[in-house]
Amino acid sequence: MKALIGIDVGTSGVKTLLCTDKGKILATTTVEYPIYHPKPAWSEQHPADWWKATKQSICAVLRKAKVKGNAISGIGLTGQMHGSVFLDKSHKVLRPAILWNDQRTAAECDYITRKIGASRLIRLTCNPALTGFTAPKILWVRKHEPRIYDRTSKILLPKDYIRFLMTGEFATDVSDASGTLLFNVRRRTWSRPVLSELQIDRGLMPKSYESTEITGRLTKDVAQELSIPAGIPVVGGGGDQAAGAIGNGIVRTGAISASLGTSGVVFAYSDTVQTDPKGRVHTFCHAAPGKWHVMGVVLAAGGSFQWFRNNLGTEERKAAKRQKVDPYELLCEKAANAPVGSEGLFFLPYLTGERTPHADPFAKGAYIGLTMRHDKSHLIRSTLEGITFAMKDSLEIMRGMKIPVRQIRVSGGGARSKMWRQIQADIYEHSVVTINASEGPAFGAALLASVGTGSYKTIQKACDVAIRVTSNTRMNSRNVRVYRGHYPIYQKLYGSLKNDFRAIDNIVAV
C-alpha cells in the first residue's frame, strides 16, 4: 500500500493526515501550540513550536494508523499563509514569526500603496496592500528592527520553514507566494518591479514551484528521527486556503467553497486571471497547476463564534462537559429558539479588524439593535447570521465579477451544524452541499502529493477519485425573503460606524 502524508501548519496547531493514494484517510493527529500577542493587534508564534509539533504529529499519525514509515511515498505541505520567518546566514530564526492576523502594518500598507500606486499594485500583483500580507511585515521589520533585517538572509512562509527543515531546500509554491504581495500572480513568478521599488532583495525570497512539483527530499537526519526512509519527495503543496480548496474538490469552473474555520473564506476556482478593480477580493494562483482562484476572507468568522463560546457560553460549556458533547452543539440548539433574522438584532464579526470587503484593521465587532425582548438565543443566532452575512459580502462581489456559482461546498465548523448550513443556504440564496472529506488543507496537501509522486496525472483526477457529495441543504424561500430585507441594513452598518471604530482605536492606543 502506498501512503501519503499531508501536513497543515495551522494557527492553533499542526494537523497531520495519513491517507492512501486512493484518498482513503487512515488517521489524523493534531498537536497544538501557543500564539502570542505582545501588544494589542499583534500576533506572533515561534517557528520552533511548529517544527516540534510537526515531528510529534508525524510520529503520532503513523502509530495511530499502524503504518510503517516505509509505506510513505510522498509528503505534501500546507499551512497558514502570509506569515514571515526571518533567517540569518546560518539559517537560525532571528525573531518570532509575524502572523497573518497581525494588524501592526497599517502604515506600511499605506506606504506601499503610495510608492507603487493603488491601481498599478493590483495590475502587478492582482491585490491591494493589506496588513495580513507578507510584504508589509518585511517593511515593518526593516523600519522597526533594522538590526534583525540587516542580518536576514532568507524570508520564508510558515510551511516553507518546515520544508527547509525537512529537505534543506528553500522553496515555496505559487499559491502561498501569491499572498506575499511580492508575486506576479498573472505570470506565476516573483514580481521584480515590486521587489525593486520596495528595495527588497530578490535573493531573500525562495524559489517558487507549482503545487504538485517535487521541491526536495527528506534528509537522512530527519528521516531517521521520524522513522521514515530518506529521500521521500516533498511537493510544493499550497497555502491553507488553496490546499483546502483541493481537499474540497474546488478544481473546476462553477465550484465555490465556503469554509468557516477561525477565519471564513469564500473561494472560487478560475481558469483565467480575474480581478476586482477595487481590490476587495484576492486573486491568487491556485494549487491546481496553471489555474487561479478568487478569494474573500472574513478574519474572525468561526473565531467570532469561538469568542462567544469562551466568553458568553459558560453555561453551555459546563453542560457540554457533563453531557460529553461539543459545546457548539448546545449553542446551536439554543440559537434555534430564536426566529430567522433574530428579530432585528445584527452582529458585526469584525473582532480582529476585517479584510473582505472593507480592508480595515480598525473595524470592531458589535451587536446592534438590542432590545429588552432579546435573549441569549437571539445573541447566538445573530452571531451566526452576522458571520454568514460577512461571507455573503465576498460571494456577492464574485457574482458581480460574473464568476459562475453552480455549486457551493461548505466546510469547517459551519458545515457541522445542520442549522448553520440552513442559515448559509438561505443567506447565500443557493443550496449548499457537504462532501465526504472534512480534513480540509491537510487532505488537499496529501492529494497534491499523490499527483506529484505519480499516482494521478492531474489534481482533477485525484479529486474525482477521492471526493464525493454527501448532503445537500436547499434554501428555504420564506427565510430567503427575511434575509433579503436584513442584508442591506447589515451592509450599511459598517459605513455608519467606520469613523467611530477608528476613534475607538485612538482612545485605546492612548
Kind of pairing, strands 432-435 and 407-412?
parallel
Kind of pairing, strands 44-45 and 85-87?
unpaired
Check if 505 is active-site: no
Distances (CA, A) of 279 to 72, 194, 239, 276, 291: 42, 17, 20, 5, 19
Quickly list H helices, 173-253. 174-177, 192-197, 220-226, 240-247
Q: How far is it, in rounded angstroms, from Cα 383 to Cα 366?
A: 10
Q: Which three cell numbers stand for residue 129?
A: 496592500
**192-196, Cβ contacts within 8 angstroms, sequence gap of 24 or more:** 193/124, 194/116, 194/121, 194/124, 194/125, 194/135
- List 233's β-bridge partners, or say none: 217
Question: Residue 199 contacts by C-beta under 8 Å, 6 or more apart in sequence?
Answer: none
Number of H helices, E strands in the chain: 19, 24
Residue 369 · residue 345 · CB < 8 Å: yes
Which one is catalytic: 240, 360, 426, 505? Answer: 240
Cite the active site residues.
240
